[in-house]
Structure 1
Amino acid sequence: MTTPHHQSANRNDCLVSFLVPAFKPDFLSEALACIETQGVDRAEVIVCDDSPGTDVARIVEDFARVSRFPVQYQRNEVQLGGLMNMQRCFELSVGRYVKFVNDDDRLLDGATARMVAVLEAHPDIRMVTGRRQLIDETGQVLPDILATHSPFAEDAVIHGADLLRFWSRFPLNFVGEPTSVLLRADELRGCWPHISALGNRMINSVNDLALYVNALGAGHLAYLAQPQSCFRTHGGQAQRQGNATVVGDYGRSVFLAQLDVRGVEPLPLYGHVRVRPLDRPDPSWGRFPLVEHFRDVGRITPEALSEFTFESVRATQRAQGNALALGRWLANRVLSPAQETVLADERGHGPEILVCIRDRNPDDFRLGLAVSAFRIARRFAPGLRCLVLTPEPSRYPEAYFRDVGFVEVGEGGEAAALNRIAGERQGSWLMLADSWDEITPQGMMTLSRELAGAPDSCVAVYGDSLVRDGGHIGGGAFRPDFNLDMLISNPGAMARNWLFRSSAVVALSGFDETLGTAFELDLILRVLEAGGFGAIGHVAEPLLISEPGRPVRNPEEERRVLLAHLARRGYDADVEANPALGTYRVRYRHTGAPLVSIIIPTKDQLPLLQTCVESLLEKTRYRNFEILIVDNNSETAEAQAWLEGMAQLPVDYIRVLRYREPFNYSAINNFAAAQARGEYLLLLNNDTGVLRADWLDEMLNHAQRPEVGIVGAKLLFPSGRVQHGGVVLGLRGPAEHAFIDEELQAPGYMNRLQVDQNYTAVTAACLMVRASVYQQVGGLDEQTFGVSYNDIDFCLRVREAGYLTVWTPHALMMHVANASQNTVDKTALEQKQARFAREQDAMYQRWLPLLANDPAYNRNLTLVGRGFEVEQRIDLTWQPLAGGPRPVALCYPADPWGCGHYRIMKPFEAMKATGELEGLLAHERLTLPELARLNPDVVVVQRQLLDEQIEDMRRIKTLAGKAIVYELDDYLPNLPMKSAYRDTMPRDILKSMRRAMRWVDRFVVSTGPLAEALAGIHPDIRVVENRLPVDWWRGLSSRRRRGHKPRVGWAGGMGHTGDLELIADVVRDLAGEVEWVFFGMCPDALKPYVHERHEGVEIQRYPSKLASLDLDLALAPLEDNLFNRCKSNLRLLEYGACGFPVVCSDVEPYRASGLPVTLVRNRYKEWMDAIRDHLSDPDARERQGDRLKQAVLEDWMLEGDAVRAWREAWSTR
């Protein structure tokens, strides 16, 4: 409820927002009264009431009657807690500056006016604080403590970057509580998920410091040495409660970790911060020993200070490297303001999600952290509710937990409590968490959206999780989609924090109250048995941040659950535990001993083949097998003799088959499979060897399960390191092995190198398949995949037929790898490459959506590198609006300079910022699986003319089926003879462009003349004119008449040699009348006449650098040729944004724009006359500069309709 006691403040008129997050009424009247004495006129007061009673409302109503400011009161419908109540106040505010007023603090007279004056006078200062006094309940001033001790005797400015370094060393809040500071509101807008969060992490206890880190931005802190506020200490404060130590240590550790993630290096123990006086004319920085000052005042030893900053933990985590990478990954997983606006419309439609928090140890005070995380996440998932399962509900004060339900855990334990909840809350989803778990806002938001669209048949869902290590994110469990064998063998990684429909819990007779800690695993397995794989869903987003090793598991209870499940499936199985890893190994104990046909294709390579066959015969314990050696035209005498000898052996379990056709791996295996007698086929490369006698038993252990179609083995290089630990689709191309070259005993990601699991594909170097399944799917595809990817394609077709593929680490074999392809296949290299490209294209054509989203992998893990590493290109995996009405674009700028920014990067950023589209700016080519993972509606390419670029466009169009928009802003077929770029272009540019246009859906150019010049090259050419990015070009200012002579100049990069030659004589002849200023390119012939030369800068700094030239007149010469007639008026726009009057060539792009500039023909006299006319009348010259600036800012900025024009040009929906 919002009750405005006066008219709300006007956003354009309000200077200060006084924000009062109220909870306690005791001192609120005094706090509000102080607002009236602050010496500011244009202000508003916002009070958000989080209290349990009506006293706050009464006090605010009384204040509003007498206040001279608009007062807005909001009673929170549900309790928000301190962090989110501050956030709510901020969201309602419209002031330029923000002044929080805690309900028990006091502002001294005129404090806010003094702080406003500082911010108004110093744009580089983002935040002002002042000394505060400590007072007691009666208002009496108390002696200073360390945090209230003032380090300065006079008003000072502390360098912002150094302040962060100080806090990284010593997180002491000498700046003060929020009542003490005045903040610029714009610095806090866009902070996500709230203004006191850092890196998408909740910061407790030192949340004020987190707020100040956000508020500082890239600016500085002003400190007023005289008291400006009073901080009241009394018995009711949260800071004085018994959990302060535990919460404080954790909050500081997360705060320090987030500074670490940002790359903030702690100050040395004896380090100094940069400081300067606030109101003295000397702007230079001095040095102040801030660490040493507080260390001495607080009598803190260096050893204690080192301990306090968690240096040893920081060093360990940095050495591991993963912590910083995951911290940055999570920090980027946020919503932009535009995205939040869009998603706000969806809120309120999500299902009810009951987060049931187990409070097993109330004395550890962790529940408050879990509830704070819930309150933050609830903002983005309004259906979220919190229930606490605890043996002692009475110990939690109702005033602090009004939005939380407490369920007493009694007889029957937590399972019984959950069953009661499920019975009472039909239609809800139940999620079990622990008090040390921190649910994530983006996870709950994603979960809510996914559950809203889940089919009725889906009754159980799980997500991913992160693991904290101190304050850092130390690891993550990015789980695969439902993986039966991994669930059974590794329940510790797979069976935690699931969600269940309450109706399904009831229908399945609830959680088993006799199973101790394993009741969640038990229900998961019963859901599977009742509803199959379709009953289970996976949300590929971390739903929570947990602690390592929690909760404590009971292996005997888990083993009992697994045995019961297997028995219900008809298996008389045995389950062995691996205590070191917390994993399990299932022996299904099948009674049959079926015949296995081992198929070994070969050609020559006798030593490898002998090793393979001999190891099979000598080391394999399971004896019911036959060996089919398929000779593919061996040529060496040794191989031919050996094969003939094997063929003559008087045994029926070894046969030599002759395949006389050219090498085709698929055809060879199909040829042998047709002659095999076994119930099971084992495809085996000839460069393998047996390492353990039970290898075939282990493969049959899974192959004899009716739901299994394929079994793969763990293969080692001869060095003993991993060669095959499963295949990941889309990895480094269509598919590739993960874990290559890992140690034999390495656990792998989530223990995946040591447990049975389901992969989508395994290598055929050692692959077992039931013969009937092989025949059912038609064997290997010998027409399309004769050499490469035949095994991957086969596995995917078996999957399509409804069977599982199991990879087991317990079947261990040696594999040299690629011996046949590398040394036997004699095809010419060029032919091999062409064949490989065809087979790769065929894989993409047939399976690309699956290659991009391997169910055995996770979309948050990268498809490049070694595999099972977090994808750091966040826009590839974080598309919160995906599936909505906004198009998704993949954009490839041609360069990182002007062309790339003005035509691709800045339009993309503007469209994304306004919610016009989503997508990714890519500065390196994505693989096709990566592209398909992003799944863009359109791919925007710029100036793609090289053969490999055109080939990439072909694959995008024909294999990924994506629309392509081609962007160009220059008439490349007619580059000027003196252009610096002629040598970088193909010889026949027009031919290359025509080849590229074959794959293009739309052609976007920058000017009408360019479209006319290229007419006929494509049927759909659109014109979108250049506009200036607002963040670069609005708000620039320059000085006038600051030189001894008028400052006349030019700015530009390479490629303008011919243009500058037009005015070379002008520059020479006016050298005595003006100060020539050149920025960027300056031909040697002109240098003697130039007063100032400025080297080029990176493009982000170009606008401010251009404005700083303080030109009294800017020149824009341009040769009159077809190339230049097709160019845009961008140079005039840039000059205009700086307020420079302009003399320019009278050519098409400058003439047609209609801008108030002076046009001249490219003749010496006209240039001289025009420049001297401007020099003779400075006032008129400056009025022209003002008119040009006004025209540019009104009509030529990248905003509004201009942004929408880009979207129309790029959107092909």
Structure 2
Amino acid sequence: MGPEDWKMKHIEGTIDPILTPLQQLQAAGKTEHGFPLWRATGDDPAFLCRIDPIPGGWYQLDLRVDVVSGRLSTPCLYVDYGQGFSEAGKIEFAVDVGAGGRFDGNMVVMFPAPVVALRFDPTIMKAKLGLPNPRLHRLGRVEAARRLVADGLRARTGFQARMRFVLEILRRGVSGGRRALGDFLYASSRVHHHRSMDPLDYGRWLDTYGSLPGATETSGSETGTAGPLVSVVMPTYNTPERWLRRCIESVREQTYTNWELCIADDASPQPHVARILDEYARLDPRVRYVVRDTNGHISHASNTALDIARGEYIALLDHDDELHPRALQEMMSGFAAHPRWRMAYSDEDKIDDQGMRFDPYFKPDWNHDLLLSHNCVSHFGVYERALVESVGRFRGGFEGSQDWDLALRCIEQLDSDQIGHVPHVLYHWRAIPGSTALAPGEKNYAHLAAMKSLQSHLERVGRDAEVMEIPRHPGNYRIRNALPAQPPKVSVVIATRDRSELLSMAVRGILQDTDYPDLEVVIVDNGSVERRTLDYLARMTQDSRVRVIRHGAPFNYSELNNLGVKHASGEVICLLNNDIEVTSPDWLKEMVSQALRPDIGAVGAMLYFPDGTIQHAGIVLGFNGVAVSAYGGRPKGWFGHMFRARLLQNYSAVTAACMVLRKSLYEDVGGLDEGLAVAYNDVDLCLRIHARGYRNLWTPYSELVHHESASRGPDDVPERRERFLHEVNIMKERWPRIIARDPAYSPNLAIVGDTFDYAFPPRHKD
């Protein structure tokens, strides 16, 4: 078709785009409704539009997409105002629809200047989509405002929510004029549109499993009389009456009865706060409060609440949030079942001003390095009172991150088995304007306090590392370790056979494109016969940094790598497949800096397929039987559940396609099991390392491309299938408990389909 790509027809104020592919799109026939069907072949499909300039202003965009296969995820419109396409001219629609679904969008969009061209990117992953031609209608300001108001009212349920919206419209219009009103309406439409989307159908999950499947069924009275006293500590300050009452009522609704609610009001100038606290204290003797004479901010107020607490355990609650009715019961059942626990946390979700719950965080069990990436303990944290006192309570100067700072100081005193996780959603974080639940960047002081908390933790434990912000993702951080002044020698062990074009790509990437100062390459040749490969290996032996070991026995990945490690002279080992392509020079520095930490075992990297989709982002145990790579097939840049696809964290296992660890540790656990010739030998190695008390770790900051098993061929011949099933049985017999319940993966998340989807039903321990 020509370069027009989106040819625009102007008919009576209506603009009818004709979709034409620019990149990563193939025509695939028609849908059952007769719409053009397109196959997105990569993670950046796009339609381009060249048009005569159209005036800036308000438009209604009518867009329909039928999802035949794959997923419609985050479609966006790029607008060229004369300087080319850029992120500054991007209009993103927070849409995520799975196969068989349909997106019907009638959205108001605003172009602040004349438009030269448009580009439509329908999704960020492979998919098959039916797209009738979209349509743009020019709107006047009054009509645009009318439609935005109508959309806003439809998005809000309940008379009070709608009245607040109307009053806010009036306030914005009076205080800021037409421009401020237009900005508010447009921003409001985007926020509510985003929050209305629930790609994994949390509402349906809650309807089915919100009563805490698998949870302890002990009655509240039995648990309450037998269990220890829990002091729920809550600072308040100018809390809106509606949320303060709801918060207190959520404590009074607890099925666990042996609690006290200890409230410290931080000298709220609004008189209703003290009045409500006094009302509840008279109503229920378990509600106790004190009003501070002066405002000291949240850390000091929390300590004041601690002053009146008498419980053996301390539970933390924010003044406008809610507890699930069984929150205390489930937590104390967990402590009773695990006598070594001294602190514990639960899963959580968010709740809006209409009581709608969304955006759950289904957390892993204790994950040390994830806590240093973001506050995965947070809500609902419960601590042994003696532990909180021993670390000095809450610290002034860390306001906004005081609970994270407390958790970091507590874990420094504990062993990993003293930190518990109750995998139920027990806490509902209020998402209203000004709350960090709605947007972590709402409170800049909290962001600064978080960085200060993390850095002070690193200094206390003697770790030479720096805290780095992750741009545009507040609340998430990177901890970058420093290498020693004299970094240790690294031996990169590569098992190979023929396919010299792959091997040379891998070796060239190590020797020429990697900026690590001291390394060697140990090539273990498993009977190559191709002349090109033999000539290449002969040339490589002339390089002092390369050693070639010959091994003609039948292929056994474990045996080949063990042989390579035996001949390695480095203090650190890197197991690397012969089909790995180096794409960033600092990949090895990052992995070695983590592997040198004395408490860390194996370190894995972020690996991509050549088409840019994720091949490996850690390994999830129990998925499809034994194990799979996390986020496999997702597009590059995928955030993952609660941003976990972009954060340094602990996994039970990582792939040996690119694995770094200390040679002494490799030898101490016996290397790869040669009884597992092909499959799961890396998982088995990681689990033996884990069993010795080390934490395996995955870093997204070391990125490479994996041309997976390109030199081995398929595994679908009968002999290979039989061997694979044999190795599956070995793993299931050797590691039944951890495969059934991977501590790095929530039982509320799926073990079939796609990793990190919601589990239907969840899996819980007895």
Shared fold (TM-score, shorter chain, > 0.5): yes
Aligned to 1:645: 539
C-alpha distance in 2 between matches for 1:304 and 1:613: 58
CA contact (8 A) 2:263 2:305 kept: no
- Residue among 792, 805, 812 paired with 2:683: 792
Aligned to 1:859: 747
- Quote how far apart the aligned CAs of 1:411 are: 5.5
Q: Give, as a single letter, the amino acid of the residue that structure 2 aligns with 1:799.
A: H
Residues 1:343 and 1:627: Cα distance change in structure 2 (over 3 Å): same
- Residue among 467, 471, 480 paired with 1:587: 480
Between Structure 1 and Structure 2, which shows a larger proportion of helix residues? 1
Aligned residue for 2:760, secondary structure, equals coil
C-alpha distance in 1 between matches for 2:279 and 2:157: 34
- Residue among 341, 346, 354 paired with 1:458: 341
C-alpha distance in 1 between matches for 2:150 and 2:535: 80
Aligned residue for 1:581, secondary structure, equals coil
Aligned to 1:398: 278
Aligned to 2:212: 333
CA contact (8 A) 1:598 1:681 kept: yes
Aligned to 1:1043: none
CA contact (8 A) 2:233 2:316 kept: yes
Residues 1:429 and 2:322 aligned together: no
Aligned to 1:729: 621
Aligned to 1:500: 383
C-alpha distance in 2 between matches for 1:594 and 1:557: 35
Residues 1:304 and 1:735: Cα distance change in structure 2 (over 3 Å): closer
Q: Relative contact order: is structure 1 or structure 2 higher (C-alpha 8 Å, sep ≥ 6)?
A: 2
Aligned to 1:744: 636
C-alpha distance in 1 between matches for 2:692 and 2:153: 64
Residues 1:324 and 2:199 aligned together: no
Residues 1:852 and 1:397: Cα distance change in structure 2 (over 3 Å): closer
Q: Deviations over 1:832-890 (max 9, x none)?
A: 1111111101101010100111111111112112111221215x43x7xx3xxxxxxxx
C-alpha distance in 1 between matches for 2:653 and 2:214: 35
CA contact (8 A) 2:346 2:377 kept: no
Q: Give, as a single letter, the amino acid of the residue that structure 2 aligns with 1:657.
A: I
- Quote how far apart the aligned CAs of 1:359 are: 2.5
Aligned to 1:629: 523
Q: Which has the larger radius of gyration?
A: 1
Residues 1:856 and 1:331: Cα distance change in structure 2 (over 3 Å): closer
Residues 1:481 and 2:372 aligned together: no
The share of aligned pairs that are identical, in percent, is 32
* Residues 39-54 of structure 1 aligned to structure 2 (within 5 Å): none
Aligned residue for 1:812, secondary structure, equals strand
- Quote how far apart the aligned CAs of 1:424 are: 4.7
Q: Give, as a single letter, the amino acid of the residue that structure 2 aligns with 1:431.
A: A
Residues 1:570 and 1:531: Cα distance change in structure 2 (over 3 Å): same
Aligned to 1:813: 704
Residues 1:646 and 1:445: Cα distance change in structure 2 (over 3 Å): same
- Quote how far apart the aligned CAs of 1:303 are: 8.8
Residues 1:513 and 1:316: Cα distance change in structure 2 (over 3 Å): closer
CA RMSD across the alignment: 2.7
C-alpha distance in 2 between matches for 1:344 and 1:334: 20
Residues 1:328 and 1:395: Cα distance change in structure 2 (over 3 Å): same
Q: Give, as a single letter, the amino acid of the residue that structure 2 aligns with 1:632.
A: N
Q: Give, as a single letter, the amino acid of the residue that structure 1 aligns with 2:530.
A: T
Q: Deviations over 1:196-232 (max 9, x none)?
A: xxxxxxxxxxxxxxxxxxxxxxxxxxxxxxxxxxxxx
Aligned to 1:527: 410
C-alpha distance in 2 between matches for 1:637 and 1:622: 31
Aligned residue for 1:458, secondary structure, equals coil
- Residue among 678, 685, 706 paired with 2:598: 706
C-alpha distance in 2 between matches for 1:580 and 1:435: 28
Q: Deviations over 1:645-672 (max 9, x none)?
A: 222x1x3211111111100000000011
Residues 1:316 and 1:440: Cα distance change in structure 2 (over 3 Å): closer
Aligned residue for 2:502, secondary structure, equals helix
CA contact (8 A) 1:433 1:497 kept: yes
Residues 1:352 and 2:240 aligned together: no
Q: How many residues align?
A: 566
- Quote how far apart the aligned CAs of 1:579 are: 4.3
CA contact (8 A) 2:591 2:660 kept: yes
- Quote how far apart the aligned CAs of 1:759 are: 0.8
Residues 1:607 and 2:501 aligned together: yes
Aligned to 1:382: 257
C-alpha distance in 1 between matches for 2:232 and 2:702: 41
Residues 1:398 and 1:703: Cα distance change in structure 2 (over 3 Å): same
* Residues 439-450 of structure 1 aligned to structure 2 (within 5 Å): 439-450=323-334
C-alpha distance in 1 between matches for 2:551 and 2:157: 71
Q: Deviations over 1:470-491 (max 9, x none)?
A: 5432211111111111111112
Between Structure 1 and Structure 2, which shows a larger proportion of strand residues? 2
* Residues 943-982 of structure 1 aligned to structure 2 (within 5 Å): none
C-alpha distance in 1 between matches for 2:472 and 2:580: 30
CA contact (8 A) 2:379 2:427 kept: no
Q: Give, as a single letter, the amino acid of the residue that structure 2 aligns with 1:396.
A: I
Residues 1:836 and 1:490: Cα distance change in structure 2 (over 3 Å): same
Aligned to 1:1142: none
Aligned residue for 1:490, secondary structure, equals coil
- Quote how far apart the aligned CAs of 1:384 are: 2.9
Aligned to 1:872: 760
C-alpha distance in 1 between matches for 2:468 and 2:245: 39
Aligned residue for 2:317, secondary structure, equals strand
C-alpha distance in 2 between matches for 1:556 and 1:475: 25
- Quote how far apart the aligned CAs of 1:524 are: 1.5
C-alpha distance in 1 between matches for 2:153 and 2:419: 50
* Residues 254-333 of structure 1 aligned to structure 2 (within 5 Å): 306=154, 309=157, 317=196, 320-333=199-212
Aligned to 1:765: 657
Q: Deviations over 1:771-790 (max 9, x none)?
A: 0000000000002x111000
Could you tell me which runs of 5 or more consecutive residues in structure 2 were left unpaired when the two chains were aligned. 1-148, 163-188
C-alpha distance in 2 between matches for 1:315 and 1:750: 15
Q: Give, as a single letter, the amino acid of the residue that structure 1 aligns with 2:502.
A: L
C-alpha distance in 1 between matches for 2:651 and 2:479: 17
C-alpha distance in 1 between matches for 2:194 and 2:361: 23
Q: Give, as a single letter, the amino acid of the residue that structure 1 aligns with 2:392.
A: S
Q: Deviations over 1:716-735 (max 9, x none)?
A: 11111211111011111211
- Quote how far apart the aligned CAs of 1:801 are: 1.3
* Residues 1107-1126 of structure 1 aligned to structure 2 (within 5 Å): none
CA contact (8 A) 1:354 1:385 kept: yes
- Quote how far apart the aligned CAs of 1:315 are: 9.9
Q: Deviations over 1:522-559 (max 9, x none)?
A: 22122222223233221111121113433746222221
Residues 1:598 and 1:345: Cα distance change in structure 2 (over 3 Å): same
Residues 1:658 and 2:550 aligned together: yes
- Quote how far apart the aligned CAs of 1:314 are: 8.7
CA contact (8 A) 2:233 2:309 kept: no
Please, which moves more after superposition, 571-580 or 790-799?
A: 571-580
Aligned residue for 2:713, secondary structure, equals helix
Residues 1:505 and 1:342: Cα distance change in structure 2 (over 3 Å): closer
Residues 1:485 and 1:308: Cα distance change in structure 2 (over 3 Å): closer
Residues 1:605 and 1:437: Cα distance change in structure 2 (over 3 Å): same
- Quote how far apart the aligned CAs of 1:342 are: 6.2
Aligned residue for 1:396, secondary structure, equals helix
Residues 1:822 and 2:713 aligned together: yes
C-alpha distance in 2 between matches for 1:722 and 1:730: 19
TM-score, normalising length from structure 2? Answer: 0.70
Q: Deviations over 1:1135-1174 (max 9, x none)?
A: xxxxxxxxxxxxxxxxxxxxxxxxxxxxxxxxxxxxxxxx
Q: Give, as a single letter, the amino acid of the residue that structure 1 aligns with 2:363.
A: R
Residues 1:841 and 2:729 aligned together: yes
Aligned to 1:672: 564
C-alpha distance in 2 between matches for 1:585 and 1:386: 36
* Residues 920-959 of structure 1 aligned to structure 2 (within 5 Å): none
C-alpha distance in 2 between matches for 1:778 and 1:829: 31
